[in-house]
Amino acid sequence: MSHSNPCEPIDLVSIYGSEVFNDQVMRQTLPKEIYKSLKQTIEEGLTLDAQVAEVVAGAMKDWAINRGATHFTHWFQPMTGITAEKHDSFISPTPDGRMIMEFSGKELIKGEPDASSFPSGGLRATFEARGYTAWDCTSPAFVKDGTLCIPTAFASYTGEALDKKTPLLRSMDALNTQALRILRVLGNTTTRRVTTTVGPEQEYFLIDKKLFDQRQDLILTGRTLFGAKPPKGQELEDHYFGQLKSRIAAFMSELDTELWKLGVAAKTKHNEVAPGQHELAPIFTTSNIATDHNQLTMETMRKVALRHGLVCLLHEKPFAGINGSGKHNNWSMSTNDGQNLLEPGKDPHDNVQFLIFLSAVIKAVDEYADLLRVSAASPGNDHRLGANEAPPAIISVFLGAQLTDILAQIEAGGATSSKSGGMMHLGTSSLPSLSKDSTDRNRTSPFAFTGNKFEFRMVGSMQSIAQANFVLNTIVAESLSQIADRLEKAANVQKEIGVVVLEIIKKHGRVIFNGNNYAEAWVTEAEKRGLPNLSNMVDAIGAIRAEKNLALMEKHGVLSRVEMESRSEIQYEIYNKTINIEGSTMVEMAKRQILPAVISYKAHLAASISSVLGIGGNADVEKDLFNRISGLAQSFSANLAKLEQALQSTADLHGNSKTQAVAYRDLVFKGMGELRKDADALETLVSAEYWPMPTYSKLLFSV
């Protein structure tokens, strides 16, 4: 571990969670009865008592003031994908002109931010402004920059969810209900709650702030819209797990400390595949805390980077031609008494409980692949999925050698053994023999079983992980509910389990694929198997309104039909606005930066041609360059006009967001690609002195 001063020890134990109103603080500051009641609410999802809230608010305020807080905010996650906060100070004037610090139970439980300026997908008209935030006591409050932040859910006056947290919490309840039914049928009478757990691995880029400031595209869109391929990219594979440069190490060290203070269990950090790319992984926790923590992680990365003269890029594809960034969403289910329901144990073929939960996931992923796909859809992720760096847009499940073998045995009449990994010998007595995992890894699968959890690898680096997780929780809840319906009615439960698992393998085995997901052959094979291939966000959004998906979300009380429709609308809007901003930024950069630079350089060349000719010299080289640049500039100029026209005609389609999205994809986005081609070619011909923005080589290799 590197720290700015290696001689100075850091007191990790007292730093960790120091800004969090966590269990230990609650135990210390709350009366015993109150503590017990709150704890029960948190652990068992019971309703919160108003009197308890009053006492908790008082304790929270005193604790926060002690940590230097003067304000509080309900911290929530609207559909923008980032967090929102509105700060109120604790002050309350007294009649005699003094001031006291106050914070009531009511203020803790409920807030009333104006809901009209957040995306609502038609749920709220501008004049219907009222929205409420409600305290989510299952995620702890914390102090950040002098403000007590209270994690909350955000809903409209009419009760519809306007945020990402509400459906996530609802989905956790749904999964709990259905998983408990299975456990009960299996004879478990003691487990009280099943919670989903998540550990998201976060990828990001760091670039120098001075260079960032010279790129309008990075400032406005988070990604480069122009930029020729540099002479060196990631082909030497020398960055992945490479040594940390000291400026990066200093950033990471401070980032860890800031996250630890907030109770985020940052655990692993390393360089990623692309130059300038890095990753951070925390230790997993419950889905909703993990979601809050991932938001805090992204925010803290951005903040800490600036202190080091760096900018943290969280966009899914900041640079063309090298890897983009994603988020591996590691997911499992665990019981309040400490069992991981996806833990295969030593003899998975004999582990009935494991086989049921495993088959429930397989069935869920096959039946709702389209919903999972759209949960990872974003304009930025469209550059990655299927681009040989992230898993393709086709959803399949990797199980590995051991589990695939067990399922094959079951299909052939019954499983009697589990293949083990055995030992690995390294061929020299000076190295220890290592025990091998029961299967190798597969980096290319979008949904891979990795030992005792599934890793959903499609999520984009900038996205909230909330939607991926509420979809996962809900689809698995549905499988479990169908299995429970069968088992609860069965005369012989053990026998019925065998029948159900076999049925699932037969019907949904098509979604299992252990091969290379990046291969062209897989696309054909997947099509033969009937697996959906939704290659872009606009096509993926359609899944939100599919009848089976509306019915699913409604059945489990996760999102009503109205809420689903509003979300589909919001997705189209996000796509349209993003592409419009990108296209418009390109037009502006093309007109005001690139064309003027090209014209100046052409003038310079013209002048040198005539002066060379003036002294009777041969200006063939200059002329050749001049002509090549002229040709490209002409094409560039024509493509610029086309893009401008496409932007205009697409903007005119407002009123039907889906039709407009198709036009943004097929006209504007395509036109952006054409324009970029010419510009990138020009960049390689125009003198560096004239080129108006830092190149890829500079951006990627100067930290």
Residues that bind Mg ion (CB under 5 A): 328
Tokens, residue 301: 């990365």
Tokens, residue 568: 């589909």
Closer residue to ligand ADP, CB minimum distance, 329 or 576: 329
Residue 279 pairs with which residues in a beta bridge? Answer: 203, 270
Smallest gap from residue 284 Cβ to ligand ADP (A): 3
Closer residue to ligand ADP, CB minimum distance, 46 or 283: 283
Tell me the three state secondary structure of residue 68.
coil
Smallest gap from residue 444 Cβ to ligand ADP (A): 14
Tell me if 318 sits within 8 A of 324, measured CB to CB.
yes
564 binds, among ligand ADP, Mg ion, none (CB under 5 to 8 A by kind): none
Q: How many residues does the chain have?
A: 703
Smallest gap from residue 450 Cβ to Mg ion (A): 7
Residue 152 pairs with which residues in a beta bridge? Answer: 135
From CA 103, how far away is CA 54, in angstroms rounded? 9
Tell me if 323 sits within 8 A of 272, measured CB to CB.
yes
453 binds, among Mg ion, ligand ADP, none (CB under 5 to 8 A by kind): ligand ADP
Closer residue to Mg ion, CB minimum distance, 239 or 328: 328
Smallest gap from residue 460 Cβ to ligand ADP (A): 17
From CA 654, how far away is CA 463, in angstroms rounded? 26
CB within 8 Å of 242: residues ≥ 6 apart: 271
Please identify which residue in 72, 260, 284, 354 interacts with ligand ADP, judged by CB under 6 A: 284
Tell me the three state secondary structure of residue 172.
helix
The residue written with tokens 């299996």 in the block is 186
Residue 387's alpha-carbon distances to 228, 397, 463, in angstroms, are 18, 19, 18
Please identify which residue in 144, 223, 317, 453 interacts with ligand ADP, judged by CB under 6 A: 453
Closer residue to ligand ADP, CB minimum distance, 199 or 326: 199
Q: Is 332 in the site for ligand ADP (CB under 6 A)?
A: yes
Tokens, residue 182: 């299975």
Please identify which residue in 55, 109, 149, 198 interacts with ligand ADP, judged by CB under 6 A: 198
Q: Is 340 in the site for ligand ADP (CB under 6 A)?
A: yes
Tell me if 77 sits within 8 A of 464, measured CB to CB.
yes
Separation of first and last alpha carbons in the chain:
20
The residue written with tokens 């680096």 in the block is 461
Pairing type for strands 434-435 and 110-111 reads unpaired
281 binds, among Mg ion, ligand ADP, none (CB under 5 to 8 A by kind): ligand ADP
Using the contact rule CB under 6 A, the part of the chain among 13-21, 60-68, 195-203, 351-359 near ligand ADP is 195-203
Closer residue to ligand ADP, CB minimum distance, 133 or 139: 139
Instruction: Tell me which residues in 217-276 interact with ligand ADP (CB under 6 A).
Output: 268
Closer residue to Mg ion, CB minimum distance, 261 or 328: 328
686 binds, among ligand ADP, Mg ion, none (CB under 5 to 8 A by kind): none
Smallest gap from residue 650 Cβ to ligand ADP (A): 40
Strands, DSSP E only, in 158-309?
194-208, 266-271, 277-282, 285-286
Smallest gap from residue 453 Cβ to ligand ADP (A): 4
Please identify which residue in 452, 560, 600, 630 interacts with ligand ADP, judged by CB under 6 A: 452
From CA 155, how far away is CA 160, in angstroms rounded? 5
Tell me if 274 sits within 8 A of 322, measured CB to CB.
yes
263 binds, among Mg ion, ligand ADP, none (CB under 5 to 8 A by kind): none
Tokens, residue 338: 């400490």
Tell me if 276 sits within 8 A of 699, measured CB to CB.
yes
Smallest gap from residue 269 Cβ to ligand ADP (A): 11
Q: Is 330 in the site for ligand ADP (CB under 6 A)?
A: yes
217 binds, among ligand ADP, Mg ion, none (CB under 5 to 8 A by kind): none
Q: Is 331 in the site for ligand ADP (CB under 6 A)?
A: yes
283 binds, among Mg ion, ligand ADP, none (CB under 5 to 8 A by kind): ligand ADP
C-alpha dihedral (594, 595, 597, 598), degrees to nearest 10: 110
Closer residue to ligand ADP, CB minimum distance, 215 or 327: 327
Smallest gap from residue 242 Cβ to ligand ADP (A): 16
Q: Is 17 left (phi over 0), alpha (psi -120 to 50) or beta?
A: left
Closer residue to ligand ADP, CB minimum distance, 197 or 695: 197
Q: Is 691 in the site for ligand ADP (CB under 6 A)?
A: no
Helix axis angle for 670-683 and 620-651, nearest 10°, is 160
Closer residue to ligand ADP, CB minimum distance, 151 or 200: 200
Using the contact rule CB under 6 A, the part of the chain among 54-62, 194-202, 239-247, 357-365 near ligand ADP is 194-202
From CA 90, how far away is CA 102, in angstroms rounded? 5
From CA 613, how far away is CA 601, in angstroms rounded? 18
Using the contact rule CB under 6 A, the part of the chain among 330-338, 573-581, 668-676, 682-690 near ligand ADP is 330-338
Q: Is 199 in the site for ligand ADP (CB under 6 A)?
A: yes
Size of the site for ligand ADP (CB under 6 A): 16
Smallest gap from residue 325 Cβ to ligand ADP (A): 15
Closer residue to ligand ADP, CB minimum distance, 226 or 456: 456
Smallest CA-to-CA distance from 478 within 197, 186, 182 is with: 182
Smallest CA-to-CA distance from 698 within 276, 218, 304 is with: 276
Closer residue to ligand ADP, CB minimum distance, 108 or 448: 448
Using the contact rule CB under 6 A, the part of the chain among 208-216, 445-453, 470-478, 621-629 near ligand ADP is 445-453
Smallest gap from residue 188 Cβ to ligand ADP (A): 19
452 binds, among Mg ion, ligand ADP, none (CB under 5 to 8 A by kind): ligand ADP
Smallest gap from residue 484 Cβ to ligand ADP (A): 22
Closer residue to ligand ADP, CB minimum distance, 253 or 442: 442
218 binds, among Mg ion, ligand ADP, none (CB under 5 to 8 A by kind): none
Helix H or strand E encompassing 143: strand 142-144
Q: What is the DSSP string of 522-539?
A: HHHHHHHHT--B--SHHH
Smallest gap from residue 19 Cβ to Mg ion (A): 28
Residue 446's alpha-carbon distances to 327, 341, 625, in angstroms, are 11, 21, 46
Using the contact rule CB under 6 A, the part of the chain among 34-42, 127-135, 192-200, 679-687 near ligand ADP is 192-200
Tokens, residue 296: 């805090």
Helix axis angle for 561-589 and 547-555, nearest 10°, is 120
Closer residue to Mg ion, CB minimum distance, 272 or 678: 272
From CA 256, how far away is CA 280, in angstroms rounded? 9
Smallest gap from residue 381 Cβ to ligand ADP (A): 19
Closer residue to Mg ion, CB minimum distance, 443 or 507: 443
Please identify which residue in 77, 156, 166, 197 interacts with ligand ADP, judged by CB under 6 A: 197
C-alpha dihedral (396, 400, 403, 409), degrees to nearest 10: 90
Q: Is 282 in the site for ligand ADP (CB under 6 A)?
A: yes
Instruction: Tell me which residues in 409-428 interact with ligand ADP (CB under 6 A).
Output: none
From CA 420, how far away is CA 438, in angstroms rounded? 5
Smallest gap from residue 528 Cβ to ligand ADP (A): 30
| Alpha-helix runs per DSSP H in 163-229 | 165-185, 209-212, 216-221
SS (H, E, C) 582-596: HHHHHHHHHHHHHHH
- Positions in the binding site for ligand ADP (CB under 6 A): 197-199, 201, 268, 281-284, 330-332, 340, 450, 452-453
